[in-house]
Amino acid sequence: MLQIQLKKNEDRRLRGGHPWVFSNEIARIDGERTPGTAAELYDAGGGFLGCGHYSPSSLIAFRLLSRQRADLDRADFYAERIVAARRWRETLYPNLTTYRAVYGESDFLPGLVVDRYGEHLSIQLLSAGMDCRRQLLVDALQQVFAPQGIIARNDVAVRALEGLPEAIEILSGTIPPLVEMTENGLTFAVDLQTGQKTGGFLDQKENHRLLQSICAGQEVLDCFCYSGSWGVHAAAYGAKSVLGLDISAKAIAQAQGNAQRNGVAEWTVFEPCDAFERLRSLQQEGRRFGVVIMDPPAFVKSKKQLVEATKGYLTVNRRALELLAPGGVLITCSCSYHMGREAFRDVLAQAARQAKRDVRLVSTCSQAPDHPVLLAFPESEYLKCLVLQAI
């Protein structure tokens, strides 16, 4: 096994619970530096710290999997971790078969994401260590879930940082064009092969229920609606009307199908458009909404993009606040890790000033608990969902 020794004092963060070692923290490496190979980690004095996967191409050179010596090249090791992760999800959601089954570092399987959609699994292999063990992982997942099919949604840019190509591959069984998932008593079609992320977004299921107490009789605007989960929930919870906006014609078609599937198509309209431009035209038309939902894609992919992305968050939230009727509610989200919670609140305060609206914060929420946050690993907390009221 490869042996990695850290520079003096570079073990502090790892001892504090963070599972990563960066390349500039390493003093020496002994052994063949094969991408993804198993490695043992030692402090500057030669004390054993744990074992994990090594990535020579990445700034994140080592990902910790165990603080004890372990064989990282057997399926049983991964199956045991996956069983523990599944047990927790079934404790949280005993009646659900769609959930995030493995959430990387938070489940002590860094570089691996597994989303369960009933009898099918959609996974992401985000590190060299997980990618080179794909067959081990398939074996482990089949042992734990016995799925009808497993698809790898490795079409994500972060893989380039590991020297890995982007690809979508069916790893076992079959994957139908669409599968169905149930959330809060509603049914949604999910495209596992070409949909965003792993096919659907599973992190807002708790937050969707925020609409239950505020939508009755209201006109609702759902910006960046994707396949319509927010809008369909709003309609099902008694909204007078729902207008959903998304730039993807395919997503709009899915949203329309999901509205029909749940019997709320009569109250919903989904438009393919540039949400930024449509927000401006709605303001010019004098439209007002009792509820506005703002759940855009991640504007911030890296720290370098933070300034420009902040402008985007500021613009869409200012326009959203301008469209709110008196007493109206804005549910606004950021799924960008680099846009911190306090920074996001500051953006919203600035947006309120620019919109000349008095706004109060009603509630702050995060990702669903099947996306647990590892306390020593702040990177595992990314979703901010704030409920604001214009008064």
The residues that are catalytic are 335
Read off the DSSP letter of residue 207: G
Residues paired with 40 in a beta bridge:
3, 51
Cα(202)–Cα(200) distance, rounded to whole angstroms? 6
- E-strand ranges in the chain read 2-6, 20-22, 26-30, 38-42, 48-54, 60-66, 98-103, 112-117, 120-125, 149-154, 167-173, 179-183, 186-190, 219-223, 241-246, 268-272, 289-294, 324-334, 359-365, 384-390
Closest CA to 148 of 176, 167, 169, 183: 176
Q: In Å, how far are 13, 108, 171 from 105, measured between CA atoms? A: 15, 5, 23
Amino acid letter, residue 211: L
Amino acid letter, residue 27: A
Terminal alpha carbon distance of the chain = 62
Burial class (CB in 10 A: 0-12, 13-18, 19+), 12: exposed
Question: Taking the CB of residue 377, how many other CB atoms lie within 10 A of it?
Answer: 18
Phi-psi region of 248 (alpha: psi -120 to 50; beta: other; left: phi over 0): beta
